[in-house]
Amino acid sequence: MSGNTASLIDWNAFNQARAELGSDFVRILGYFKEDGVKSLDAIEEAMRSKSAAALVRPAHTLKGEARQFGAEPLAVIAERIEIVSRRCVELHTTPDELIPDVVQLRPMFETTMQMFDRETNPLMERRPQGFGRRAVFGRAG
């Protein structure tokens, strides 16, 4: 996925959300991370049980939150899962055609979250070496 990670996030939309949410941005992004994992778990469980009805709500939730933060490819897959699931409910069919979408959802979500983390916490990857080693106080020889 490394070749196309730049296209996972619309940074203009991300920065617009950051500007609009202001001091609440990091907290709300944290909610997206938590809700996203819950949505992924629910989507995967629904696929295991072949329940189209159980796919709709978590896919809808993931779609909306991903779109809010500019994670458009994630939102597109979640939207496809939502739409196909609704159709399967109406037609009383199983959502088997969504297996490839569901399989790629979690890795895409995790890569997207790592990119968000790097953007919101630039110190994550650059930990200072030797911080605080120099100063020795209280020695009056």
Question: Looking at residue 131, what DSSP letter applies?
Answer: T
pLDDT for residue 3: 44
Residue 38 maps to a domain: yes
Return the CATH number at 41: 1.20.120.160
Residue 131 in domain: no
pTM above 0.85, yes or no: no
User: Mind listing the pLDDT tens digit for each residue in 16-54?
Assistant: 999 999 999 999 999 999 999 999 999 999 999 999 999
Residue 55 has pLDDT above 70, yes or no: yes
The answer to which of 1-15, 20-34, 43-57, 69-83 has the lowest mean pLDDT is 1-15
Residue 129 inside a domain? The answer is no
Confidence (pLDDT) at 121: 84
Q: What is the pLDDT of residue 125?
A: 52
Nearest one of 111, 82, 109 to 98, comparing CA atoms: 82
* Structural domain count, the chain: 1
Cα–Cα dist 91/89, whole Å: 6
